[in-house]
Amino acid sequence: MNKIEVIVNRCIGCGLCVKVCPYQAITLIDSPHTLESGRTVKQLAFIDLNKCTYCGACVEACKKYNAIFLQKEEAKIEIDFKDYKNIWVYAEQRRKEISPVVFELIAKAKDLSEKLSFKVCSVLLGNKIKDLANELIYYGSDVVYVVDDPALEEFLDEPYSEVFAWLIKEEKPQIILMGATNIGRSFASRVAAKIRTGLTADCTALDVDLQTHNLLQTRPAFGGNIMATILTPRHRPQMATVRHKVFKPLARDTSRQGEIIEKKFDFSKIKIRTKFLDFIKDTSTKVNLAEADIIVSGGRGLGGPEGFKLLEELADLLGGAVGASRAAVDAGWIPYSHQVGQTGRTVAPKVYIACGISGQIQHLVGMGSSEIIVAINKDPESPMMKIATYSIEGDLYEIVPELIKAVKEYKSKS
């Protein structure tokens, strides 16, 4: 049972607790009393237990005097792990287009499900999106749960998280995988809080313990200096978000058969406090960085923003996109939307050309899956030069123009 009380011989009647209480559960009353120091004060804080939610805001405000005692009873959650089964993938879609990361997660879920003898289930939320369910089956889903409603026309945190949490409580999945996209990051934590479970963000590897069915969730920690494997041993379901390009999708198979289950949710029971106004598409890049087959990236070694004009010319000739290290973005040389790495985009192009990038672990996490890595750097001992498929030692301002010249000559001949 929760308990809260004012310690009379410590309360000076300052009113700090009154100001911070969000529920107006505290007032000051006239009640002369003597403090531990021997001083007499005229007012005392009074807590109305009918209004108090035991949030602890008053305790925090009264740290100096320590005049409020709060004891909260920990909720005992009884979970029968046997009730939880199957692996779910949140099938993120926007404007009836499924995010590519979804197909990658289905492929990984398929790999994990074979070890656990579970089904792979996709959850599709939106309006007039039933036709997309078959596409999820073609890429490996065994079951697709569909909630199709006008209230889900545009993504909003409140309705989406309410529906998803409700569906989880109804069906009890063992594992839930979501893309670490803007949408996934926005509401995955809300869902985890509603169903009282843990969430591991930005995973780069996933596996399972066959005895306990614990999901082994690996992600960079301490600024990317170590790789931590995180477990959720006492709660179900287990939730993780994964970046785009970490896993490879399965081949699309139109002969696959699966089950489509339509669910209905009563939206009249929830209050939606936000409103969708408009969607403004980012047109600052000619090629989507995450989808590009060729990326030309620049780092601190460029020495200034003018260096990116050279990289843009090479990228345009190759039909690729321009990337950047965090150092270049932090210096204001190029917008954040171009950043590759732990705190930027995860990419896996066929060719990644790193110009003047030393190759700290935070950057390598975001592009290490590239098929071919070309490093251009003056320092032959830099991490990027060591992991590169092809390393070119020298001044990038001499090497890149020669590459541009060679590509132009090749194109003129072909």
Tokens of 303: 């020495």
Q: Report the CATH number of the 3-71 domain.
A: 3.30.70.3270
Half-sphere exposure of 318 (CA within 13 A, CB side): 25
Distance CA 182, CA 151 (A): 20
Tell me: the pLDDT tens digits for 220-269? 777 666 789 999 999 999 999 998 888 999 999 999 999 999 999 998 88
Domain boundaries, the chain: 3-71, 81-269, 289-413
Tell me: the pLDDT tens digits for 206-216? 999 999 999 99
pLDDT at 163 (0 to 100): 95
Class of the CATH domain delimited by 289-413: alpha beta
Average pLDDT, the chain: 91
**Amino acid present at 141:** S
Task: Give mean pLDDT, residues 154-161.
Answer: 91
Q: Which of 313, 411, 323 is nearest to 373 (CA)?
A: 323
**What is 81-269's CATH number, 3.30.1360.120, 3.40.50.1860, 3.40.50.720, 3.40.50.620?**
3.40.50.620
Chain-centroid distance of CA 212 in Å reads 25
CB 67 within 8 A of CB 45: yes
Tell me: the pLDDT tens digits for 30-83? 999 999 999 999 999 999 999 999 999 999 999 999 999 999 876 565 678 889
Distance CA 351, CA 6 (A): 66
What DSSP state is assigned to residue 249? P
pLDDT at 284 (0 to 100): 56
pTM: 0.69
pLDDT at 353 (0 to 100): 97
Does 3-71 match 289-413 in CATH topology?
A: no
Sheet of strand 238-242, all strands in order from the earlier edge strand to the far edge: 199-203, 238-242, 175-179, 87-90, 120-126, 143-148, 259-262
**Amino acid present at 163:** V
Task: Give mean pLDDT, residues 369-381.
Answer: 93
pLDDT at 211 (0 to 100): 92
Residue 282 banded pLDDT, cuts 50, 70, 90:
low
Q: Give whole-number Cα distances, 213 to 19, 71, 171, 172, in Å.
A: 48, 35, 18, 14
Tell me: the pLDDT tens digits for 113-138? 999 999 999 999 999 999 999 999 99
Helix (H) or strand (E) segment spanning residue 373: strand 372-377
